[in-house]
Amino acid sequence: MTGPSSPTATPVGELIVDWYASAARDLPWRTPEVAPWAVLVSEVMLQQTPVARVEPVWRVWTARWPTPADLAAEPAAEVIRAWGKLGYPRRALRLREAAIAITERHGGVVPSDVAELEALPGVGTYTARAVACFGYGRRQPVVDTNVRRVVARLVHGRAEAGNARAADLADIAALAPEDDERAVRFSVAVMELGALVCVAGTPRCGACPVRDRCAWRLAGAPPHDGPPRRVQKFAGTDRQVRGRLLDVLRAAREPVDAAALEPAWDDAVQRSRCLYSLLTDGLVEQTEDGLFTLPG
């Protein structure tokens, strides 16, 4: 008997790695000579941010700050400006803080150890393993939103992934090829499968290398049963107001007074609350004479 779960069948991990060889996108941070530092920069930029928007900014950053020490020496204001409109600008601040930590505590060399990576500002479970795996070629389970969705369907037969769980790492590790080099390739390949084929909307199962082994399809592609995940509002939220305020300050070459920030948002209460939160986050600084500016 040679069913889908037959021991003689090619493991799904191997199928996914083979698929990746022909389907992978040609992304600049995937070229072999890219330094772990540049990989770290790419991973932080890619947090919650589409590839197309990251690519041009990443090219500028890696050319301008080719090592952690280069970024560490830069004033925060320049880093925030260079972040442009990638969104979640606290990431820029944390990346600079990580560069400083790498310079001071690791002799300017990005650590390859997952625990040491996770100790860096802005580097969590995902990013630490991504750097160890893609930057240093270490065998590491790497779980992002794409991987969780692939595993939810392929392994658990569910239409959508739930929240991140500790078991996610073991789930994907169980599918990885035995060979270390292929396991590294597998980590990026599963992400790519989730990004290109096993997508959040309507999955392109016709293009999937493991469609015949997918628990979700074998179960008849049942719809999502759990609670609908709520999508974040944006219009009118503090996030929008903070973005507007920062937009004004990025454009200004000199510190500005409070009046200069009024056009950013009408509601004075919300405007000042958001300005205060930006000060708290260290994204904005107040000068001695009470003017506002990006932090030096």
Partner DNA sequence: TAGTCGTGGAG
Partner DNA sequence: TCTCCAAGACT
Which residues of the shown chain bind DNA in the complex (CB under 7 A)? 27, 29-30, 42-43, 46-53, 85-90, 94, 121-128, 130, 144-146, 163, 191-192, 194-195, 199-201, 228-232, 234, 237-240, 242-244, 246-247, 277
* Selection from 261, 263, 275, 265 nearest residue 236 by Cα: 265
Instruction: Provide the H-helix boundaries in 84-228.
Output: 90-105, 114-118, 125-130, 145-154, 167-173, 180-196, 215-218
Nearer to DNA, 87 or 255 (CB): 87
Distance CA 187, CA 139 (A): 8
Nearer to DNA, 27 or 69 (CB): 27
Distance CA 250, CA 246 (A): 6
Distance CA 197, CA 12 (A): 15
Nearer to DNA, 9 or 114 (CB): 114
Distance CA 30, CA 16 (A): 17
Per the annotation, the verdict on 43 as an active-site residue is yes
**Residue 147: alpha-carbon gap to chain centroid:** 13
Q: 């790492």: which residue's tokens?
A: 169
Active-site entry in 14, 43, 97, 192: 43
Taking the complex as a whole, how short is the minimal distance between the CB of residue 91 and DNA, in angstroms?
7
Q: 256 — phi, psi (to 5°)?
A: -120, 160
38 contacts 29 by C-beta, under 8 angstroms: yes
Nearer to DNA, 1 or 235 (CB): 235
* Selection from 220, 99, 92, 88 nearest residue 153 by Cα: 220
16 contacts 189 by C-beta, under 8 angstroms: yes
Taking the complex as a whole, how short is the minimal distance between the CB of residue 239 and DNA, in angstroms?
4
Taking the complex as a whole, how short is the minimal distance between the CB of residue 1 and DNA, in angstroms?
37
DSSP state of 138: -
For 206, counting Cβ atoms within 10 Å of its Cβ (0-12 exposed, 13-18 middle, 19+ buried), the class is: exposed
Q: Which residues are catalytic?
A: 43
